[in-house]
Amino acid sequence: MNKTIFITGTSSGIGKATVEQFAKQGWNVIATVKNNYIATDLFKNLPNVTVFELDVTNFEQVNAVAEMAIKKFGTIDVVVNNAGYCLMGPTETSTMEQIKAQYETNVFGVFAVTKAFIPHFRNNKEGMFINIASSSAQLNYPYIGAYGSSKWAVRGLTECLGIELAPFNIVVKAIYPGTHATKIFTKLDDGTGEIKNAFQAYKPYYKNFFSAQSSLSEVTSPTNIANEIWKAVNDRKGKLHIISGGDAKLFAFLKKILSQRLFQKLQIRSIMQPASKGEISFAKWLMGTKTGKLEVVMDKNLLE
């Protein structure tokens, strides 16, 4: 009997690549998208993929979709919490409404989907949750305070549930991607606009920090994460926290070997001056050979 995986946020990037990976391996795949019209032809060549419309911030809809998925397939074996987006900008100039919305999707949405499937896994005495966090949940970066901290919350939930659900043979893992060629940067919530005068104070440092990213056209492919998810699902006793991507692994290593002050000084340097040609070349090397196009939508006036 084919196994079944439930994946949120599958219209592009990591979610889409994961759907394709598991579908090609013969799994039944339930792919959720926030807007159904986006998915009309998304997986038309993959007959074992079922698409449901799902806004993870609509908790009643989350429960209804989970119920429909269980009813249709009988058993759900794995749930991947992938849906999310990024609020980018100085904390001072981001609105509280923006910060709240960031948590609604990236944190409360994960809670809602997880809670919807825990009873099913507990009754089956088996199941696995894979939570897509971020390298910013290993160390946070400037100008993504809400996004990064939301991913720290996902990390905390993962660690909690890994213990809480262990008596029911439920495994909980998290993956921490670095910079990948996904569309998360084309879905940015711009947190630079609440106090225009205040942003002018941050602008030179903001520009310096993104000088390296704006010079990268090719970064690690999202298939890299899909492969990590595939390995994690098929190795229940493997790592619970999986760092993926050259940049994510490097910074995690540096944080481990450097003092807290020295590591912070390294990060402060990234906003005090633009990236050098050598640093940009090194960043490109870190992305590896299996790359995709980095798509960034950002007001160019912010970087001029």
pTM assigned to the model? 0.89
The answer to whether 141 and 148 have CB atoms below 8 angstroms apart is yes
Q: With the C-alpha atoms ordered 173, 110, 88, 290, is the resulting torsion angle positive or negative? A: positive
Question: Which CATH number, 3.40.50.720, 3.40.250.10, 1.10.1040.10, 3.30.1050.10, labels domain 4-193+221-245?
Answer: 3.40.50.720
Lowest mean pLDDT among 23-32, 63-72, 269-278, 281-290: 281-290
CB-neighbour burial class of residue 135 (10 A; exposed 0-12, middle 13-18, buried 19+)? buried
Contacts of 51 (CB under 8 A, 6+ apart): 10, 30, 31, 32, 33, 36, 39, 42, 43
> Residue 185 pLDDT more than 80?
no
Q: Determine the Cα–Cα distance for residues 205 and 197; give it in Å rounded to an integer.
A: 15
Query: What is the pLDDT averaged over residues 198-224?
Result: 77
What does the pLDDT look like over 207-218, one tens digit per residue?
888 776 666 555
Q: Is the pLDDT reported for residue 242 higher than 70?
A: yes
Which residue do the tokens 């099913």 mark? 120
CB-based contact 92:58 (threshold 8 Å): no
Active-site annotation holds for 147: yes
pLDDT range class, residue 4, cuts 50, 70, 90: very high
Average pLDDT over residues 139-148: 93
Report the C-alpha gap between 135 and 12 in whole angstroms. Answer: 19
Higher pLDDT pick, 148 / 187: 148
pLDDT at 286: 67
pLDDT tier at 189, thresholds 50, 70, 90: low
- Of 85, 143, 147, 206, catalytic: 147
Instruction: Quickly state the pLDDT bin for 246 (edges 50, 70, 90).
Output: confident
Helix (H/G/I), strand (E/B), else coil: 80:
strand
pLDDT surpasses 70 at 44: yes
Q: Residue 300, Cβ neighbours under 10 Å: how many?
A: 7
User: pLDDT digit string (tens) for 51-105?
Assistant: 999 999 999 999 999 999 999 999 999 999 999 999 988 999 999 999 999 999 9
Note whether 81 and 8 are within 8 A (CB). Answer: yes
Query: What is the number of other CB atoms lying within 10 angstroms of the CB of residue 299?
Result: 11
Q: What is the mean pLDDT of residues 141-159?
A: 96
91-137 pLDDT per residue, tens: 999 999 999 999 999 999 999 999 999 999 999 999 999 999 999 99
Mean pLDDT value across residues 253-261:
93
* Confidence band, pLDDT 50/70/90 cuts, at residue 251: confident
- Report the percentage of the chain scoring pLDDT > 90: 65
C-alpha distances out from residue 44 to 4, 23, 32, 298, Å: 18, 12, 14, 32
β-strand partners of 49: 29
